[in-house]
């Protein structure tokens, strides 16, 4: 009998994943990952991880499976939290959920599971896995979940063949309502539990409060750039080759205070991210202000009025070789090669047509339609039909 260790998070998705695996004849063990110790940054008095681990334990008891809590808070702090602060200080916007999957759930957690004699690790992600043979070798494919509303393949865009080989996603063929229905039929305590919001596994944490603990507030100016700024009317040079053209279009606008007018003050450029609308607290405009760029060196936030502001949109982004990742290593592009794909630059964004161009120092992703708020530090993921084949950090 194959042994599977399920990451029970205390939510409905992982509860049903455990139940389904049991039905399929696996020997199932439930582990709850405790990733956070600092109670000072949770928003409410309730302690989310205690409540969640308690729910996970009740589900395990109901299913009659062994259960234990593993403390990964030291690894989580080092691999996720410290990394997040470094990125924010550099003026980039990291995605802790993608990292948590790559560094914690499918790495640290997977090692613990393998030490416990597991054949597989399972999670409650809405995605699917298949495999096929190619030149005598088994190749694993990561597919989008059947529920379009809940597809979570994007969060797993950094997994490797080795990690996929050992992973199971039992609810990938189901929709959220179907998952809730199974939980209700099995009388699982998590059946009606709301989906968790907030940082992966930390619980109900407000990101600005969290950042303020480490990054000191520092007053700076909010500058509004007019939509008809000369910057956006820059003349497009004649390019010697495709790479020069892509480089030009992927380069972000270089703003200075002289390009706009000061409309307010902020408490630190590193608390803000491209496309952000909340937290600017500047009134008196026809349309809301959006962040079009942050300068952490000068501590200035550049904004534009309205969601159609020119400064928010670009067609091309770049990923360096160090930050480039292929789930399907067999499809990796060589220098000079191109590939037609569909891609997204954030979770829940609908897939957009794009072309990948591999160059010596990295990869350009050129979208057919201009994308709003391309943000450094976030992940771009690309697909062929339903299959997620690769990803990278936007540079």
Q: pLDDT tens digit string along 258-268?
A: 999 999 999 99
Among the listed residues 47, 127, 157, 200, the single catalytic one is: 200
Element (H, E) at 155: none
* First-to-final CA distance of the chain: 46
With a cut of 80, say whether residue 319 has pLDDT above it: yes
Q: Is 157 a catalytic residue?
A: no
Instruction: Supply 351's token pair.
Output: 């897939």
With a cut of 90, say whether residue 196 has pLDDT above it: no
In which residue ranges of the chain is CATH 2.40.30.10 found? 217-395
- Model pLDDT, residue 42: 52
Q: Alpha helix (H) ranges present in 64-175?
A: 73-76, 82-89, 96-99, 109-115, 161-165
In which residue ranges of the chain is CATH 3.40.50.620 found? 3-213
CA 269, CA 219: separation in Å to the nearest integer?
A: 9
CA 61, CA 186: separation in Å to the nearest integer?
A: 13
> 217-395 architecture in CATH?
Beta Barrel (2.40)
pLDDT band at 201 (very low <50, low <70, confident <90, very high): very low
Q: Is 47 a catalytic residue?
A: no
Going by C-beta distance under 8 Å and a sequence separation of 6 or more, which residues neighbour residue 22? 28, 63, 65
Q: What is the per-residue pLDDT across 334-376, written as a single tens digit (0 to 9) for each?
A: 999 999 999 999 998 999 999 999 999 999 999 999 999 999 9
Instruction: Supply 96's token pair.
Output: 């802790």
Q: What is the per-residue pLDDT across 137-190, written as a single tens digit (0 to 9) for each?
A: 999 999 999 999 999 999 999 999 999 999 999 999 999 999 999 999 999 999
Q: What is the per-residue pLDDT across 87-143, written as a single tens digit (0 to 9) for each?
A: 888 889 888 889 999 999 999 999 999 999 999 999 999 999 999 999 999 999 999
**What's the angle, vertex CA 325, arms to CA 141 and CA 113, rounded to 5?**
60
Q: What is the per-residue pLDDT across 10-60, written as a single tens digit (0 to 9) for each?
A: 999 999 999 999 999 999 999 999 887 665 555 455 566 788 899 999 999
With a cut of 80, say whether residue 211 has pLDDT above it: no
Q: What is the CATH T-level fold of the domain 3-213, as seen in this structure?
A: Rossmann fold (3.40.50)
pLDDT band at 214 (very low <50, low <70, confident <90, very high): confident
Would the pTM of this model clear 0.85, i.e. be above it?
yes
């Amino acid at each position: 009998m194959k042994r599977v260790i399920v990451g029970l998070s205390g939510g409905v998705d992982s509860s049903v994943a455990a139940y389904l695996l049991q039905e399929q004849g696996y020997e199932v063990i439930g582990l709850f990952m405790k990733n956070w110790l600092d109670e000072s940054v949770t928003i409410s008095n309730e302690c989310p991880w205690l409540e969640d681990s308690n729910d996970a334990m009740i589900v395990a008891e109901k299913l009659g499976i062994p259960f234990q809590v593993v403390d990964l808070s030291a690894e989580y702090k080092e691999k996720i939290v410290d990394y997040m602060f470094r990125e924010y200080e550099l003026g980039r916007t990291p995605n802790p959920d993608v990292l948590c999957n790559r560094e914690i759930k499918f790495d640290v957690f997977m090692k613990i599971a393998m030490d416990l004699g597991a054949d597989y690790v399972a999670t409650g992600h809405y995605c699917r896995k298949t495999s096929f043979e190619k030149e005598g070798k088994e190749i694993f494919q990561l597919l989008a979940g059947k529920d379009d509303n809940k597809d979570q393949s994007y969060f797993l865009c950094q997994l490797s063949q080795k990690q996929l080989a050992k992973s199971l996603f039992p609810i990938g063929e189901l929709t959220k309502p179907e998952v809730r229905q199974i939980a209700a039929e099995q009388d699982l305590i998590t059946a009606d539990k709301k989906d968790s919001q907030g940082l992966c596994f930390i619980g109900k944490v407000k990101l600005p409060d969290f950042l303020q603990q480490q990054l000191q507030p520092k007053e700076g100016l909010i500058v509004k750039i007019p939509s008809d700024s000369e910057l956006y009317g820059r003349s497009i040079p004649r390019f010697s080759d495709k790479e020069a053209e892509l480089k030009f279009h992927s380069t972000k606008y270089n703003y200075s205070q002289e390009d706009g007018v000061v409309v307010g003050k902020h408490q630190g450029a590193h608390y803000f991210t491209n496309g952000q609308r909340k937290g600017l607290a500047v009134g008196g405009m026809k349309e809301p202000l959006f962040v079009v760029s942050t300068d952490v060196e000068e501590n200035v936030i550049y904004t534009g009025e309205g969601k159609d502001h020119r400064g928010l949109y670009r067609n091309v982004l770049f990923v360096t070789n160090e930050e480039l990742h292929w789930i399907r290593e067999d499809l990796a592009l060589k220098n000079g090669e191109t590939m037609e794909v569909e891609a997204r630059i954030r979770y829940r964004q609908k897939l957009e047509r794009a072309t990948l161009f591999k160059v010596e120092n990295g990869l350009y992703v050129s979208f057919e339609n201009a994308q709003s708020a391309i943000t450094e530090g976030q992940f771009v993921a690309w697909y062929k039909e339903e299959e997620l084949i690769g990803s990278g950090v936007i540079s």
